[in-house]
Structure 1
Amino acid sequence: MSEYGYLTADVFTDQPFGGNPLAMFPEAKGLAAETMQRLAAEFNLSETVFVLPPGDPAHTARLRIFTPAVELPFAGHPTVGTALILAETGRLGAIDRRRDIVLEEGAGPVPVTIERDAAGRLKATLTSPVVPSRRPESFDAAQFAAAVGLDEAALEPGVPGAIFNVGVSFAILPVRPERLAAARLDLGLWRRHFADTPAQHFYLAALDDWALGRTARVRMFAPAMGVMEDPATGAAAAAFTGFLAAHQHPADGVARWILSQGAEIGRPSEIEISADIVGGTLKAARVGGTAVLMSRGSFDLPS
């Protein structure tokens, strides 16, 4: 038998029992992919991450990220969470004000900046390995709304939905703020109309001002990943950065937004996103937040 230790943290929150729980194995060398998937199913969290030696010695680590059902090429909450767990447990050495690291993922190298504020709290911000881009496929917005228990009157007029890709694709549907909390996934309709399409991951978003607003409430449903509703979704937040940049056309420089997610399922989360705009074009998307260490343990597994 071999012992493999793990830690858990609540990510995109500064309060225990908020945010999105994450399990992380800091020394996963020797684990087969099949075992990783089984461990992710055992935890049954949105994602479980396994830390391996990097392929490039200039990088910090290689990550393999699993939902209870599939392996992902990129995910934000495991990336931010892993960086903060490594920092909080001293695996990155002392961090006075700032540390820049690179984590290797299936979608490519992911730069992460870890910063310590005046109060001593650490925050991690990733740069998406893929610049968010709109996919050419469309979807039936009314059918999408019906699949989350809403009618066409719940849709935000004048703001059409779209599918954006960041290594993982998300179908983004703007809804009226007063209707967001009422959304409930209809698994039968999802299976019938969306399960085998690029629009299979649902991201609902509400802003009070779609032209200039800088705060949004969002929800994410991903049954294809084994996640009925996610408390905080970093990759989807990166995709939404692309959507917002395309819709709002911010001026050159850095545009910033704050997303609230998870309150409807009792896991309030806060995600910071930003877009680098150069010549009117989105050049980079960033996603950041904090985390709280919650537990440590180990598994005894067959060698």
Structure 2
Amino acid sequence: MRAFRQVDVFSSEPLLGNPVAVVHDADGLDDEQMARFARWTNLSETTFLLSPTDPAADYRLRIFTPGRELPFAGHPTLGSAHAWLEAGGVSRASDRVVQECGAGLVQVRRGERLAFEAPPLTRSGPVDAVDVARVAAALRIREDDVVDAAWVDNGPGWVGVLLADAAAVLACRPDMAAFDGLKIGVVGVHPDGDPAVEVRAFCPGLGVPEDPVTGSLNAGLAQWLAGDRLPASYVASQGTAVGRRGRVHVTSGRDGVWVGGDTLTTVTGTVRI
């Protein structure tokens, strides 16, 4: 039996963020056991806390969707850091936790709320016309509805799509059968600026048709848009279309892009895997 927590991320109110399942003391579990449990939870991500292999890390994390393992993901990073600290984890530094994962070492800053440092993009830059056409078809929009598009991939495979405004984002009715491996993040500005933008994340190839609130996508979008089309610091809304009220706090500056959110444990117990 292993300790287990389910943590709601990017919401200060229960059941309005994005849940992550966290298995503690997961050393000894093999890949298939982890993958099987992640399929069983059927959440967008399930994580496993293990002993670090890098002496600079406080713990090691493996992250699974129902479909495959990811090298990095945002809401699992914040939720797992919350679970590790709540279970008595003591970090080497008082102001941050260092997580080891497939993408390397990730800094998680402690403060009013946990925030992770956005990892470097593994793919960036403009999206060619062929892929813009594929994106538009998947989203069931016209190609000229795409204001701009860029690769904002930090592990999961994100392509970022800027639409005219938040209303256009919420109006999307994608064709999940047409994604053909694409992981699409859509963003549009709210006219009143509070919150600054509306975000949606579509990734049916990972077993998650629409992810409620997505840290990795928001990190990539900030690296693309913050300080140019968006303020250096802003709050993103995500999950509206699926009955959630996620709020992602983004800060961009000389020390990099930091993505934060409230975290709240909703389930505790033990699991047999």
TM-score of the pair, normalised by structure 1: 0.81
Q: Give unmatched runs, 5+ long, in structure 1.
A: 118-122, 278-282
Count of aligned positions? 269
Q: Deviations over 1:48-96 (max 9, x none)?
A: 0100001123321000000010100010101111111222333338x9x
RMSD: 2.4
Question: In structure 1, the residue corresponding to 2:177 is in which secondary structure?
Answer: helix
Q: Which among 233, 240, 244 is matched to residue 221 of structure 2? A: 240
Structure 1 position 17 matched with structure 2 position 15 = yes
Q: Which among 199, 202, 210 is matched to residue 229 of structure 1? A: 210
Q: What amino acid is aligned across from residue 248 of structure 2 in structure 1?
A: I
Residue 145 of structure 1 corresponds to which residue in structure 2?
136
Q: Which among 103, 107, 112 is matched to residue 111 of structure 1? A: 107
Residue 53 of structure 1 corresponds to which residue in structure 2?
51
Q: Which among 206, 224, 228 is matched to residue 188 of structure 2? A: 206
Q: What amino acid is aligned across from residue 264 of structure 2 in structure 1?
A: V
Question: In structure 1, the residue corresponding to 2:148 is in which secondary structure?
Answer: coil
Q: What amino acid is aligned across from residue 186 of structure 1 in structure 2?
A: D
Q: Are the equivalent residues in 2 in contact too, given 1:46–1:68 (CA < 8 A)?
A: yes
Residue 120 of structure 1 corresponds to which residue in structure 2?
none
Residue 92 of structure 1 corresponds to which residue in structure 2?
90
- Aligned-residue offset at 1:223: 0.9
Counterparts of 1:147 and 1:167, CA distance in 2: 21
Q: What amino acid is aligned across from residue 209 of structure 2 in structure 1?
A: M
Q: Are the equivalent residues in 2 in contact too, given 1:238–1:285 (CA < 8 A)?
A: yes
Q: Which among 245, 255, 259 is matched to residue 268 of structure 1? A: 245
Residue 125 of structure 1 corresponds to which residue in structure 2?
115
Q: Deviations over 1:153-186 (max 9, x none)?
A: 6x25xx3111122233311111132222221221
Farther off after superposition, 53-62 or 231-240? 53-62
Structure 1 position 295 matched with structure 2 position 267 = yes
Label 1:152 to 1:131 Cα distance change in 2 as closer, same or farther (>3 A). closer
Question: In structure 1, the residue corresponding to 2:83 is in which secondary structure?
Answer: helix
Q: Are the equivalent residues in 1 in contact too, given 2:195–2:237 (CA < 8 A)?
A: no
Q: Give unmatched runs, 5+ long, in structure 2.
A: none
Residue 26 of structure 1 corresponds to which residue in structure 2?
24
Sequence identity percentage: 34
Q: Are the equivalent residues in 2 in contact too, given 1:11–1:290 (CA < 8 A)?
A: yes
Q: Are the equivalent residues in 2 in contact too, given 1:132–1:239 (CA < 8 A)?
A: no
Residue 39 of structure 1 corresponds to which residue in structure 2?
37
Q: Deviations over 1:25-46 (max 9, x none)?
A: 1210110011101111000101
Q: Are the equivalent residues in 1 in contact too, given 2:127–2:149 (CA < 8 A)?
A: no
Q: What amino acid is aligned across from residue 47 of structure 1 in structure 2?
A: E
Q: Are the equivalent residues in 2 in contact too, given 1:131–1:285 (CA < 8 A)?
A: no
Q: Which among 125, 130, 152 is matched to residue 164 of structure 1? A: 152
Q: Are the equivalent residues in 1 in contact too, given 2:8–2:19 (CA < 8 A)?
A: yes
TM-score of the pair, normalised by structure 2: 0.89
Counterparts of 2:56 and 2:212, CA distance in 1: 33
Label 1:180 to 1:11 Cα distance change in 2 as closer, same or farther (>3 A). same
